Amino acid sequence: MKRTIRTVLLIGALGVSGVMASEVIATVNGDKITKEDANAFLQQIQPNQPISFDMLDPQTRKKVVDGLIETELMAQAAQKAGVEKDPEYQRMLDLAKKKLMINQWAKQQYEKTIVSESEAKEFYDKNAQKFMMPEQVHARHILLKDEKSAQELIDQLKGLKGEELKKKFIELAKEKSSGPTGPKGGDLGYFTKDQMVVPFSKAAFALKKGEITPKPVQTQFGWHVIYIEDHKAAQKIPFEQIKEKVIQNLKQQRFTERMKKESEQLKAQSKIDYLDASLKGKASAQPETAK
């Protein structure tokens, strides 16, 4: 029975790395449930999160174990019903085993794929446009319900410059703005052109550092008075900041190419016959002569 529950848990729980503890955490009619089973289950439901049974809080551990117990009980019931002798079960089990072997083999091939830091740097240097931080502005705004009120604020701010303008703008934003950023002096932080609605973004990026909009800007949210606190031109992201991402992307790319070539080579070395008439007759690839 232990083989039954492990088959249920491990088929699809691929890529589990490291040596997993085999400590028994529960028994069901004499069959053991171990931490290995729990870790495999967690890997199956959260493949992109490196989480283990030992990392869980007591309440979550209990839920995981209860789930494994339920799985074991159903597996035992299925075995008693003779499901293991069912031809369809055997067919699905064979297919699942093939998938498990393929995924484990692919994982091994991926781990063998190496990209050095120097190779990543060379790719980074040759593809500068892929690693650009787009132009950004740091803006503040005052959101009002009507154009007249917005224009009155602009008129009130005219003639002010530098820190005096910034201080007064923040003061008015806290006092007058109906937007959620009002209490923060209208601070929107840094953003790129595509992160704001078009009318707002167009007006903000047309301004220089320390300037306000000469006229109110209308969006679906209301009327805005915009102040630009800082302006950053588009710039290349430093290699050190994205080195690991570049390495992983190149590794994935090489792995994909490697597996494609492997598939093509396997086809070329094998005799393949299409027997279904709908597949347009027979096609075969003859083995290549060994070199």
CA atoms within 13 A on the CB side of 218: 6
In angstroms, the CA 41 to CA 13 distance is 7
Mean pLDDT of 2-26: 53
My answer on whether 137 and 51 are in the same domain is no
| Domain assignment of residue 17, given as a range | 2-112
- What's 128's DSSP letter? G
Confidence of residue 44 (pLDDT cuts 50, 70, 90): confident
Torsion of CA 51, 53, 55, 59, to 10 degrees: 120
pLDDT digit string, tens, across residues 69-90: 999 999 999 999 999 999 999 9
Q: What is the pTM of this model?
A: 0.55
pLDDT digit string, tens, across residues 224-262: 999 999 999 999 999 999 999 999 999 999 999 999 999
> Of 185, 202, 234, which residue constitutes the final position of a domain?
234
In angstroms, the CA 212 to CA 204 distance is 9
Q: Which domain CATH number covers 62?
A: 1.10.8.1040
My answer on whether 63 and 161 are in the same domain is no
Tell me whether residue 253 is in a domain.
no
My answer on whether 150 and 48 are in the same domain is no
Number of domains, the chain = 2
> Of 234, 261, 285, which residue constitutes the final position of a domain?
234
My answer on whether 84 and 183 are in the same domain is no
Closest CA to 213 of 136, 143, 135: 143
Tell me whether residue 258 is in a domain.
no
> Of 199, 217, 234, which residue constitutes the final position of a domain?
234
pLDDT digit string, tens, across residues 247-256: 999 999 999 9
Closest CA to 207 of 182, 229, 188: 229
Q: How many CB atoms lie within 10 A of CB 166?
A: 17
User: Whats the size of the chain, residue-wise?
Assistant: 291
- Percent of the chain's residues with pLDDT above 90: 79
